[in-house]
Chains A and B, each alone.
Chain A
Amino acid sequence: MKRLIFYGVTVLVSFFICPANSSFALDFFNGRLHDVKGYVNWSMVFRMHQDERDVTVSSLRTTLKLEGLLDIITTDTVDIKFYGLVNYWYDGAVNADASLRRTIRYEDGGSHGVKESTRPNCEEEIINEAYLDIAYGNFDIRLGKQLVSWGESEESRVADVINPLDVTNMIAFPDWENLKVGLWMARIFYSPPNTRSDLSFELIITAPDFQPTRYPPAGNGIFFPFPLMPQGLFGKVLHQREHDRPANDWSSMEFGMRIRGYSFGTDWALSYFYSRRDTPIIDGEKGMGEFIKLAFGLPHDDVYTYPHYSSIGFTFARPWDRIKSVIRGEIIFNTGMYYQYGDKFEFVSDKKKRDLVAFAVSWDRDNMIPWYSYWNKSRSVTTSLSWYHYHFLGHKYNKATGEYIWWESELHRDSTWDVLTLGIATFLFQDTLILLGNFAYDFNRGTTIVGIIRYKPGDRWIYQIMYQQLNEQSTARMANQLSLILKYDF
């Protein structure tokens, strides 16, 4: 019944409020509520490889997104607005594919996961952003649930560490605002006029409401690459991670600040953020002991911990006219982060504090290809070539015992990790047909290829086909997917 109501509302919104070819933005209350916009998105995701799970349709989702801006007070001295962004979805894949329903039940240990995979489970997942924006003189204060984007890189996050991610529906490279989890915070901007280097300052203080990375239920989404585990174990792991979240007290608050400027033709920013890990680690030897009890269904204490760390970052962007490009970069130093220390069988014996240095450099260019651009009416091919480098300091690998510190590097034994990415975009037939491609070469893992064909004949409807292929040589290929997307913007 709820599903029917949801579909009905979606159809009403699409056809009664949004005339097909007119151009408008919704305004209410004499224009005080304005810039109302949103979309309805239908997506189907097909797995291109089947393992013993035999799942074909991994997502059959309808999403409704709405946002708007309300002017509360507008005077010469103060300006107060309210901005809200809500997102509701229904995923019918478990009804379309019985194998998926069976897999989730098996890996999650019950039908709870099936229900979780069909719709948002709480208001927190529906309200993505809701904040008051108060502008007063050179100060601007934002209070409420927000998404923050620091950094310059697009494919991976280096300096952009504020919001955790929601990976419940990882169709490749969605917009960041669809991938991040909003955090309740106070954000204060100070922009003094006529400063040298155009300086501005930003301070962030989050509320004591810790949010970890949001995962789909076991048996779904990004967990496909892993072979089937004992029934319900994966579900227990995910539920335990949720259970072991830090308490919502002062210890969960996070702090950050950023100074931005413009000097010698270069945009730059210096940042600092004190935070907890968004994904937990097993709490050393003690945690491992509790994990074994968990695995055998015995009473147990906390298994996981979300330790604190600090991230210091520097970003820059500068056009280089001689080569008609923009060079962007960021570098971060993560200090004080704890990592699991264990052996190749994932038996954790300790946790260790280590530092990480990472940088990303991107070369963005609009390229005129001799024959092609002439045929395409001087439309360029946009490329973005990026290099991501991670260097784990104080790496410890014990060749005798096989023990080492687990970090993002897939093979763990290496102290460095490099990824090269190339993004290509071209716009055809007056931007009605858009071809996008992204190639990533992970020196430690393998390649990822994403290809997108997007057709946009008018102002509102978008038709898209996307193919994603990961690490052809490993079990990660189970995540290879073909997505069909139909979107209506209003």
Chain B
Amino acid sequence: MIKQQRAYSFFITHILLFLVMVAPAFAVEVRYPIPCYEGEELKKVRQWEKIWVGKIIDTANVDKIKELLPESLYEIITNEEEWGRSWFAIVPYRQYTMTAGTIAATKKYSPAARLGEQGELLDWVAGVPFPVPKTGMEIAWNYYARTKGDSLFTNAPAYIVDGRKKYDRNVQFEVWLTYFAGRLDVPPVPEILPNPKQIYRGASSEFTDPPEMRGNLSFQATYKDTSKPYDMWAWFAGLRRVRRMSTAQRTDTQAGQDLCYDDNYGWDGSMIRNTYEILGRKEILVARHQDIQKLEHTEGDCIVDGLQRERINTFVLEVINKDPGYIYKKSIWYMDPELWHIAYADRYDKHGNYWKQFDQYQAIFKGYKDQDIPYQAGSMTIDHQRIHSTFGIVPDSKLGIEIPTEKFSIKYLYKYGR
């Protein structure tokens, strides 16, 4: 009897050992990156590009590609009376190159990533958590996980354009950004330690224009605990004080711009503040690999001209904020399936009327170890109700640089505020 039991134990132990050793060979390897088009689909796109690449699209010919434009963009190009002449160029689709760190982290950590009961992201460390997303919430977390080179500095000039009175005002600020967690390439990976406050991302900015705002600094902390609200402090030069800001102030605009704090990069709030539903896929023309030198702006013109747009197959999300009093009743996000950023968005006011268009244009910058990193060359937020817009054209950003972590602290505001 005992001999029999021993034999069974021996047998079962070795079966288990075998499974443990062999099982990884049967595990499904994470496929990443996944191009937007491949195979037959890519061939079809290339066929289409033979006709359209190199063409300038304006009011004269926009009808021929209407099905590849969001309705709001089509309206701007066709309605010259209200918006002036607007145009863009069509360029070939190019797959984004992901950094080595992004690929390695996605393959390593995405199998464990999952959603909690409230839609929160669990068991994730770095990389794209859901390379093949099935729900809108998973796409939203893919967006959240993008670290833009892990750290960056940008000097961001922006235009505030009154399309009716045909004049510009200017805003300019410097931005420093560092991801404390979820890091991909710049050491230390995946997290800067120690991180006693459990910060996910620190953002510090300083206004350099207009003159009355020059010298105003701000610091914003986003936490690893995604249920924890953002914290924000601002140094006001006129008051000579650091002021604690409320999260409610995130829906207020600054300096006459058309976008509020929540609108930065398309969405700069906690992901669990919204619900996300996939409406489907839609092929649209999106500004991806910009040659910034070709972008043009005429004073009083609400639109950036000269954008170079590629045809891609976006995920379309309907995004509704859980706060019934939120400034947008709903938003429609067009998500780039390679970069997982908000390439384009339509926003509706509280009465459901169309209000703002958000159009983001990326360019390739050099990051850590000279790797190519797609990052924002600018974005346009266009108020269709007021014929007004805010947009930036960022000539250069420094990605993957070393930024002292003390820059992302309240002490920094006290130290450098004047």
The answer to whether A binds B is yes
Residues of A within 8 A of B (CB): 21-25, 35, 37, 39, 67, 69, 83, 135, 140, 147-149, 152, 154, 175-177, 189, 191, 193-194, 198, 200, 260, 262, 265, 267, 317-321, 324-326, 328, 364-366, 368, 374, 377-380, 427, 430-432, 458-460, 462, 489-490
Using Cβ atoms and an 8 Å threshold, which residues of chain B touch A262?
410
Q: Identify B211's interface contact among A319, A377, A430, A489, CB under 8 A.
A: A489
Chain A CB within 8 A of B79 CB:
no
- Cross-chain contact B170 with A319 (CB below 8 angstroms): no
Given A378-B251, A380-B248, 5 additional A-B pairs, CB 8 A: A21-B167, A35-B215, A177-B237, A319-B244, A430-B162
- Cross-chain contact B388 with A267 (CB below 8 angstroms): no
- Cross-chain contact B414 with A189 (CB below 8 angstroms): yes
A35-B214, A379-B252 in contact; A321/B229 too (CB < 8 A)? yes
Using Cβ atoms and an 8 Å threshold, which residues of chain A touch B150?
none
* Best-buried of A260, A378, A430 by chain B (most CB within 10 Å): A430
- Cross-chain contact B248 with A325 (CB below 8 angstroms): yes
Using Cβ atoms and an 8 Å threshold, which residues of chain B touch A37?
211, 214-215
- Cross-chain contact A377 with B385 (CB below 8 angstroms): yes
A83 (CB) vs chain B CBs: closest residue? B418
- Cross-chain contact B251 with A198 (CB below 8 angstroms): no
A37-B211, A260-B414 in contact; A459/B169 too (CB < 8 A)? yes
The answer for the CA separation of A140 and B413 in the assembled complex, in Å, is 13
- Cross-chain contact A460 with B211 (CB below 8 angstroms): yes
Using Cβ atoms and an 8 Å threshold, which residues of chain A touch B415?
135, 140, 189, 191
Using Cβ atoms and an 8 Å threshold, which residues of chain B touch A489?
210-212
Distance in angstroms from A22 CB to nearest chain B CB is 8
The answer for the CA separation of A320 and B229 in the assembled complex, in Å, is 11
- Cross-chain contact A25 with B255 (CB below 8 angstroms): no
Chain A CB within 8 A of B43 CB:
no
B251 (CB) vs chain A CBs: closest residue? A378
Interface residues on B, range: 35 or more
The answer for the CA separation of A198 and B219 in the assembled complex, in Å, is 15
- Cross-chain contact A25 with B209 (CB below 8 angstroms): yes
Chain A CB within 8 A of B409 CB:
yes
Chain A CB within 8 A of B168 CB:
yes
Q: Identify A21's interface contact among B168, B241, B383, B409, CB under 8 A.
A: B168
Using Cβ atoms and an 8 Å threshold, which residues of chain A touch B414?
189, 200, 260
Chain A CB within 8 A of B3 CB:
no
- Cross-chain contact B253 with A379 (CB below 8 angstroms): yes
The answer for the CA separation of A41 and B352 in the assembled complex, in Å, is 45
Chain A CB within 8 A of B247 CB:
yes
- Cross-chain contact B256 with A490 (CB below 8 angstroms): no
Chain A CB within 8 A of B157 CB:
yes
- Cross-chain contact B172 with A23 (CB below 8 angstroms): yes
Q: Identify B167's interface contact among A193, A265, A374, A458, CB under 8 A.
A: A458
Distance in angstroms from A276 CB to nearest chain B CB is 22
Residues of B within 8 A of A (CB): 157, 160, 162, 167-170, 172, 194, 196, 208-212, 214-215, 229, 231, 233, 237-249, 251-253, 255-258, 260, 325, 327, 349-351, 383, 385-386, 388, 406, 409-411, 414-415, 418
Nearest 4 A/B pairs, CB to CB:
A324-B248, A431-B256, A23-B170, A489-B211
- Cross-chain contact B247 with A319 (CB below 8 angstroms): yes
The answer for the CA separation of A447 and B93 in the assembled complex, in Å, is 67
- Cross-chain contact A374 with B349 (CB below 8 angstroms): yes
Q: Identify A378's interface contact among B243, B245, B327, CB under 8 A.
A: B327
Using Cβ atoms and an 8 Å threshold, which residues of chain A touch B160?
430
B409 (CB) vs chain A CBs: closest residue? A198
- Cross-chain contact B411 with A326 (CB below 8 angstroms): no
The answer for the CA separation of A281 and B48 in the assembled complex, in Å, is 88
- Cross-chain contact A326 with B239 (CB below 8 angstroms): no
- Cross-chain contact A149 with B410 (CB below 8 angstroms): no
- Cross-chain contact B247 with A25 (CB below 8 angstroms): no
Distance in angstroms from A188 CB to nearest chain B CB is 12
The answer for the CA separation of A200 and B170 in the assembled complex, in Å, is 36
- Cross-chain contact B246 with A324 (CB below 8 angstroms): yes
Distance in angstroms from A327 CB to nearest chain B CB is 9
Using Cβ atoms and an 8 Å threshold, which residues of chain B touch A430?
160, 162, 256-258, 386, 388
A189-B415, A200-B414, A317-B243 in contact; A374/B214 too (CB < 8 A)? no
The answer for the CA separation of A462 and B260 in the assembled complex, in Å, is 23
B208 (CB) vs chain A CBs: closest residue? A25
Using Cβ atoms and an 8 Å threshold, which residues of chain B touch A366?
246, 248-249, 251-252
The answer for the CA separation of A443 and B196 in the assembled complex, in Å, is 47
The answer for the CA separation of A366 and B237 in the assembled complex, in Å, is 21
- Cross-chain contact A194 with B246 (CB below 8 angstroms): no
Distance in angstroms from B70 CB to nearest chain A CB is 21
Using Cβ atoms and an 8 Å threshold, which residues of chain B touch A377?
253, 383, 385-386
- Cross-chain contact A460 with B245 (CB below 8 angstroms): no
- Cross-chain contact A191 with B411 (CB below 8 angstroms): yes
A200 (CB) vs chain B CBs: closest residue? B411
B237 (CB) vs chain A CBs: closest residue? A177
The answer for the CA separation of A140 and B412 in the assembled complex, in Å, is 11
The answer for the CA separation of A176 and B244 in the assembled complex, in Å, is 18
The answer for the CA separation of A365 and B208 in the assembled complex, in Å, is 27
- Cross-chain contact B239 with A176 (CB below 8 angstroms): yes
Q: Identify B246's interface contact among A22, A149, A319, CB under 8 A.
A: A319
- Cross-chain contact A267 with B244 (CB below 8 angstroms): yes
The answer for the CA separation of A319 and B411 in the assembled complex, in Å, is 18
- Cross-chain contact B244 with A198 (CB below 8 angstroms): no
The answer for the CA separation of A67 and B211 in the assembled complex, in Å, is 12
* Best-buried of B325, B385, B410 by chain A (most CB within 10 Å): B410
The answer for the CA separation of A147 and B237 in the assembled complex, in Å, is 11
The answer for the CA separation of A35 and B208 in the assembled complex, in Å, is 8
Q: Identify B238's interface contact among A152, A175, A191, CB under 8 A.
A: A175
A325-B248, A326-B245 in contact; A25/B157 too (CB < 8 A)? no
Q: Identify A175's interface contact among B167, B239, B411, CB under 8 A.
A: B239
- Cross-chain contact B253 with A267 (CB below 8 angstroms): no
Using Cβ atoms and an 8 Å threshold, which residues of chain A touch B252?
366, 378-380
The answer for the CA separation of A317 and B241 in the assembled complex, in Å, is 12
Using Cβ atoms and an 8 Å threshold, which residues of chain A touch B212?
462, 489
- Cross-chain contact B249 with A25 (CB below 8 angstroms): no
A23-B157, A37-B214, A378-B251 in contact; A326/B244 too (CB < 8 A)? yes
